[in-house]
Amino acid sequence: MSPLDPDPTAPADPSPAPGSRALPDWIAAGVTFLSSGAVLVLEIVGLRLIAPYVGITLQTSTAVIGFALAAIAVGAWAGGATADRTDPRRLIAPLMVAGGALVVAVLPLVRFAGELLTGAAAGNVLLLAAVAVVVPAALLSAVPPMVVALQLGSLAQTGSVVGRLSGIGTIGGIVATFATGFVLVAVLPSSVILVGTGLLVVLVGVALSVLLRRRTPGVAGRLPVGLLALALAAPVLAAVAPTPCERETAYHCARVVADPERDAGRVLLLDTLRHSYVDLADPTHLEFSYVQAIASVTDAIAPAGQPLSALHVGGGGLTLPRYLAEVRPGTRSLVLEVDPGVVAIDEQELGLETSAELRVRVGDARVGLDDEAAGGRDLVVGDAFGGLSVPWQLTTVEALRLVDDALAADGVYAVNLIDHPPLSFVRAELATVQQVFDHVLLLARAPVLAGEDGGNVVAVASQRPLPAAEIAAAMADRGLAWQVAEGAELEEFVGDAGVLTDDFAPVDQLLTPYPTAAR
């Protein structure tokens, strides 16, 4: 072995050799871990930041992930190229301070921009997603390749150094992803997560700058004082920025608004949607048209006052379960609600009192459907929404078979749907419902049935003939100008729409959201 070759059996020395540009291994690993992890925190929280303005759809998630990946690619490429031309010790600390400061600044930037970009239009989604992630993610992604450039002592170590630091960066992203998604989001507001992450990166950048100045006087770059000031000022700007969020739940930005025209009226808003209306004094008051339509179905399927066994897929403000408890004493309702924060708001601000006859189970509704005993429900109500659409896993043939299994032989399924012309999603969902149930009705306004307008519609399904005339009469008694479509009219409306399955359910692509995202 040549005296110049390293001895492969010698223990690794974590300290850089005298005169080496390399950082101590633990510092290089920590900087890489933190920089990579912060980008993933920004990606996850960024989606939650923009949701109140543009909703949570597949397009929203895709935009945030896509811009984050683009920023990582650009940052890594630029960081590596710059490290070949400039001593990385001049840039690593300033980049961390700049990236961390801009992570903090994302909060007020999104809130101010969101006021101008509200609505689910593709342009709004793309612009707001870009504001949320691109610049800070690109700056922080430039740090790891610069650290690699510093740590490369010889060509003989290239593979091990690049592989080790690449692995550490990936682990940082993994830890950040799981910690944010499983822990931080459940216990802290998004604003606190974002500000805390940004300030941590800034502090590490400042500490690294001090270290480099002591080790290599005159080499370390100056910190961007303006961005240091921005990191401190951004939380103040966020505090004064307009926000639609009164309370942040695990899934939504939520708030309860009083109805100025009805003393006891309360509206639950989740992200961009008016989700539920509750009259604290009168549970029989049904404000939203689609709730009146579903209530008309319940009025028609059983004699007045007869208790039902009902399963509610989606909770919101629990308007319909309260109505059934009032007009059909003894009704047993189980509500499947994925968001524990919404349930807490129901109890604290909307007067919800659970009991043996009105129960709430927190969890995913598809899982809840799978747990249901067969044949026990007179009524299943679908009113679950993830952003602007019904969660795709609740729209498929396989999900509807679970609904059918839960229903008694003459049980009825009534589901709230939202779409706008050309109504591709509603048509596909109706085709899917027809695949499972022998009898299907569509309740909607005449312009919707004509394909000229959109909004809420209600699909009603059963394995037994449905009382279409009685449902129409019940809606008319409520003053609801909705019609019942069945038979040939319904077949013409559905047309050649495809059936949704667990293997293929492009709900977000079929849906045509209204630009102002009202429900």
Q: Tell me the pLDDT tens digit for each residue of 167-196.
A: 999 999 999 999 998 899 878 888 889 999
Output 1 or 447, whichever has higher pLDDT: 447
**Pair (227, 296) in one structural domain:** no
**Pair (92, 232) in one structural domain:** yes
**Pair (169, 114) in one structural domain:** yes
State the pLDDT at residue 202.
Answer: 93
Give CA–CA dist 197/31, Å, rounded.
Answer: 13
Rounded percentage of the chain residues whose pLDDT exceeds 90: 69
**Pair (210, 334) in one structural domain:** no
Residue-wise burial string across 483-506, b where 16 or more C-beta atoms lie within 10 A, e elsewhere: bbbeeeebeebbeebebbeeeebe
71-90 mean pLDDT: 94
pLDDT band per the 50, 70, 90 thresholds, residue 17: low
**Pair (362, 453) in one structural domain:** yes
Structural domain boundaries enclosing 413: 283-510
The end-to-end CA distance of the chain, in Å, is: 76
Give CA–CA dist 355/406, Å, rounded.
Answer: 21
Output 358 or 229, whichever has higher pLDDT: 358
Give CA–CA dist 247/451, Å, rounded.
Answer: 37
Token duo for residue 18: 């005298």
Specify the number of domains making up the chain: 2
Residue-wise burial string across 253-290, b where 16 or more C-beta atoms lie within 10 A, e elsewhere: bbbbeeeeeeeebbbbbbbbbebbbbbeeebeebbbbb
What are the DSSP calls for 96-139, one per residue?
HHHHHHHHHHHHHHHHHHHHHS-SS-HHHHHHHHHHHHHHHHHH
State the pLDDT at residue 5.
Answer: 47
Give CA–CA dist 375/108, Å, rounded.
Answer: 51
- Look-up: residue for tokens 């290239």? 158
State the pLDDT at residue 517.
Answer: 40
472-489 mean pLDDT: 96
pLDDT value at 511 more than 90: no
CB atoms within 10 A of CB 5: 8
pLDDT band per the 50, 70, 90 thresholds, residue 53: confident
User: 194, 217, 243 — which closes off a domain?
Assistant: 243
**Pair (315, 433) in one structural domain:** yes
- Look-up: residue for tokens 């359910």? 505
pLDDT value at 515 more than 50: no
Within-domain flag for 234:
yes
For residue range 189-208, list pLDDT tens digits in order: 888 899 999 999 999 999 99
pLDDT band per the 50, 70, 90 thresholds, residue 4: very low
Which DSSP state fits 428? Answer: H
pLDDT value at 9 more than 60: no
State the pLDDT at residue 20.
Answer: 64
User: 193, 219, 243 — which closes off a domain?
Assistant: 243
Rounded percentage of the chain residues whose pLDDT exceeds 70: 92
**Pair (162, 310) in one structural domain:** no
pLDDT band per the 50, 70, 90 thresholds, residue 360: very high
244-257 mean pLDDT: 82
User: 225, 243, 261 — which closes off a domain?
Assistant: 243
State the pLDDT at residue 234.
Answer: 79
CA atoms within 13 A of residue 371's CA, in its CB half-sphere: 12
∠ CA 466-371-248, nearest 5°, is: 95
For residue range 387-418, list pLDDT tens digits in order: 667 889 999 999 999 999 999 999 999 999 99
Within-domain flag for 264:
no
Within-domain flag for 111:
yes
For residue range 417-448, list pLDDT tens digits in order: 999 999 999 999 999 999 999 999 999 999 99
Mean model confidence pLDDT for the chain = 89
pLDDT value at 6 more than 60: no
pLDDT value at 501 more than 50: yes
335-344 mean pLDDT: 93
**Pair (96, 152) in one structural domain:** yes
Going from the C-alpha of 52 to that of each of 67, 94, 125, 339, 476, the distances in angstroms are 19, 33, 11, 16, 35
Token duo for residue 137: 């993610």
Number of residues in the chain: 519
Using left for φ > 0, alpha for ψ between -120 and 50, and beta otherwise, residue 387 falls in left
CATH code of residue 230: 1.20.1250.20
CA atoms within 13 A of residue 160's CA, in its CB half-sphere: 8
Residue (of 141, 128, 137) closest to 68 by Cα position: 137
pLDDT band per the 50, 70, 90 thresholds, residue 272: low
342-361 mean pLDDT: 95
CB atoms within 10 A of CB 327: 15
Token duo for residue 248: 């942040």
pLDDT band per the 50, 70, 90 thresholds, residue 513: low
Evaluate whether 432 touches 500 at the Cβ level (below 8 Å). Answer: yes
pLDDT value at 10 more than 50: no
**Pair (237, 306) in one structural domain:** no
CATH code of residue 381: 3.40.50.150
pLDDT value at 340 more than 50: yes
83-102 mean pLDDT: 92
Token duo for residue 376: 């026990």
**Pair (422, 499) in one structural domain:** yes
Going from the C-alpha of 355 to that of each of 69, 122, 131, the distances in angstroms are 48, 44, 46
Token duo for residue 282: 């009168």
